Amino acid sequence: MIEVVCNNCLRKKVCVRCNTDETTGDLKKLLVTHTGTRGNKVVLKKQCTIFKDRVFLVDYEIHSGMNLELYYQ
């Protein structure tokens, strides 16, 4: 289990626990349950990289305690 911290543009932090074998789309589903927004409106970024839904967290080298940026379309 890893814990990922997501910051949105309003400086609200959301901590989510997930497994490393889950996809980024699964992480978005967990974030939607915490924030109450629609799943198709959520975009995850780290600096200039936009994370795609079908790629595993291990492939993006997302580890425990990592901060991601949460944007809304």
pLDDT digits 0-9 by tens, 14-56: 999 999 899 999 999 999 998 888 888 899 999 889 999 999 9
Q: CA 34, CA 55: separation in Å to the nearest integer?
A: 22
Confidence of residue 57 (pLDDT cuts 50, 70, 90): very high
CATH number of the structural domain spanning residue 57: 3.10.20.90
Distant-in-sequence, close-in-space partners of 10: CB < 8 Å, separation ≥ 6:
none
CB neighbourhood size of 40 (10 A): 9
Confidence of residue 73 (pLDDT cuts 50, 70, 90): confident
Total number of domains constituting the chain: 1
Q: CA 44, CA 53: separation in Å to the nearest integer?
A: 9
Domain containing residue 43: 2-72
Whether pTM > 0.85 for this model: the answer is yes
- DSSP assignment, residue 55? S
